[in-house]
Homo-oligomer: A and B are copies of this chain.
Amino acid sequence: MHRAALYRQLAPATWHGPGLSPANRGICLLILFASLVAVLETEPTLRRLAPKTFSILEMGLVTIFVLEYGLRLYAAGENPRYRGIVGRIRYVFTFWALVDLIAILPFFLGFLSFNNAFLLRLLRILRMLRLARLGRFSSAWSALADALSSRIHELLLSVGVAALLLLFSSACLYVVEAAGQPEAFGSVPRALWWSIATLTTVGYGDVTPVTTLGKLFAGLTAVAGIGIIAMPTGILAAAFSDAFQNKHKTPGEREWNDPTT
A interface, CB within 8 angstroms of B:
35, 39-40, 42-44, 117-118, 121-122, 125, 128, 131, 140, 144, 153-154, 157, 161-162, 164, 167-168, 171, 174-175, 178-179, 186-190, 192-193, 196-198, 200-206, 208, 215, 219, 222-223, 225-245, 248, 256-259
Contacts and interface: CB of A to CB of B under 8 A. Distances in A.
Nearest to A202: B203
A255 to B, nearest CB: 10
Contacts of A236: 230-231, 233-235
* Copies of this chain present: 4
B237 A240 contact: yes
A169 to B, nearest CB: 12
Contacts of A192: 219
Contact of A154 (B44, B193, B257): B257
Contacts of A44: 186-187
A258 B140 CA distance: 28
Contacts of A43: 186-190
A192 B215 CA distance: 10
Nearest to A186: B44
Given A203-B205, A257-B154, A215 B193 contact: yes
Nearest to A46: B187
A229 B226 contact: yes
Contacts of A168: 128
B197 A203 contact: yes
A166 to B, nearest CB: 9
Given A201-B201, A235-B237, A237-B240, 15 more contacts: A118-B175, A121-B178, A125-B174, A128-B168, A140-B157, A154-B240, A157-B257, A200-B201, A226-B228, A231-B236, A233-B233, A234-B238, A237-B238, A239-B244, A241-B242
